[in-house]
Chain A
Amino acid sequence: MNNAIELRDVSWSAGKSFALRDLSLRVPTGSIYGFLGPNGSGKTTTIRLFMGMMRPERGEIRMLGKSVPRDMKSILARVGYVPERPHVYPALTVAEQLRYHSAFFRSWDRGWAKELMGRLQLEAEQKIARLSKGETGKLLPLLALAQRPNLLVLDEPTEGLDPVVRRDVIAAVLDYVSEASATVFISSHLVHELERICDWVGMMDRGRVVAEMPMNQFKNGIKRLRVADAPATLNGSPFTVLSRLSENGAGSGETWIVRGWEAPMRYYLETVGATLRDVIDLDLEESFVDLLRSSRPPSGGRQ
């Protein structure tokens, strides 16, 4: 499978306060890849690394089959980028900003830009300094989409936007993807938003990628099990136990959060003398939170 974005063993540090260590990431071509992580986990830093804005200390980065930062100019001609914070010039009007941005992209689709402007209800002569947060939030994806990119990199594109604007932006992105078969890399900590639209998910915490898998595998593979008579240790388990908690006042009952669970694995539990009482599906947010908890050291301190 081709990867639109590929990071291999990338490391980067900002002094002693924060570091990305041996980061590896694969974003399959044509996928909508949701990049989840709590605030400060390193999502934006990772994006800036593969966007060529920062140089890694170690490791290899490839985008659209080309090397970063060597082939950055040709890569960026095919990438639409929505940064975490607005970067548009406040003294310009919407139309002037579009004209300025379009001058750098040969693939710029003027007709579609105009159509998107109408669809997202942006006024051409409106000054950017006077745009509301929601309007600025619509302008940035418009700039990225009108480039007709092969890859869209969206860094918290709907952060702070109201649900109506959020829906408009996501709909515009999805329409483009279905039409142009582009790859989308979307970073967010709004788990529910990604759950609906992504087919791949990567999770980041404290500068590490803690999980990366197809969304359906992730959603189906993480379960909460209620188990009785569980042994103290599990040997040769076909699934990964992320956490174990004793149930209050339930004797030998425990609640497990497990990854890689499939129905036939209940027989394994019988072989170790445990009884499976219940299998509970978790939504993405619960899975995400449990996965993060299980990946952190017990002390809760920084790694």
Chain B
Amino acid sequence: MYHPMLFVHWKQAKFLLIPFVVAAFGLPLLVVQGYGWGAGVELGLEAYRILAAYEVWLPLFPLLAASIGAVIALTAWNWDHRYGHVHALSLPVARWEYAAMKMGAGAALVLVPSAALWIGAHLASASIALPDGLRAYPNLLAFRFFLATLVSYALFFALGAGTIRTTMWVVSAVVGLVVGGELVRGVLAMVAPSMDLDVMTNALLWVMRAGGPFAVFTGNWALIDV
């Protein structure tokens, strides 16, 4: 049952995925363009300057991962929503089993852009001569990209699994929490000005910091580092 489901998901997502796969393959190659250090070059001021310039590109990696995860997740449920889940509900499969297979099929699709990025990162690493003190991390970058795409996929898959009403409830609850937190903060600022309770920033830090569910997006995305 899993293989046909993977096949169906692939048929639905392939045309949307192609530009993302190309981007995942090309991005590492793009970011190393203009690097022409020769072997034996000292890690001097010039190298630092180039590394700083390279960091400008870094946000594109998590952004791409998040986008790919969203696209795969939304194509997973697209047809089911369109036909009112009638086909799925008429199959002799438990609902959780169907959702798990669908989730697994999408997770396997995540491998495709991740593999493209891995190949691109290896080609990019091989295309430049790094100065002493710098190293390329194509495997780590590809693994981080895979994990980030997977996290994004899981999030959007869960959101997409529900009805529009359920999704609206979830989004409204999140917005409500943020707005409520800000209101509480405003009230506390008036009552006790010495107390700085920044709920939104703290919540954001909590999900993004090491150990948080979205920490993978904020870690080190460098293909080339010391």
Contact = CB atoms under 8 A, between A and B. Distances in A.
A72 B79 CA distance: 23
The contact size tier of chain A is 20 to 34
Interface in B129-164: none
A100 B12 contact: no
A96 B11 contact: yes
Nearest to B93: A104
Interface string A63-86: 000000000111111010101011
Interface in A80-127: 81, 83, 85-92, 96, 99-100, 103-105
Given A74-B92, A91-B11, A91-B12, A100 B86 contact: no
A77 B12 contact: no
Given A89-B8, A103-B3, A51 B92 contact: no
Contact of A92 (B11, B84, B92): B11
B85 to A, nearest CB: 8
Contacts of B91: 76, 104
Contact of A53 (B3, B86, B93): B86
Interface in B17-70: none
Interface of A is mostly: loop
Contacts of A91: 11-12
A52 interface: yes
Contacts of B86: 53, 83, 85, 87
Q: Which of A72, A75, A96, A103 has the most CB of B within 10 A?
A: A103
16 contacts: A53-B86, A72-B92, A74-B92, A76-B91, A83-B87, A85-B83, A85-B86, A89-B11, A90-B79, A91-B12, A96-B7, A96-B11, A100-B5, A103-B1, A103-B3, A104-B93
Interface of B: 1, 3-5, 7-8, 11-12, 79, 83-87, 89-94
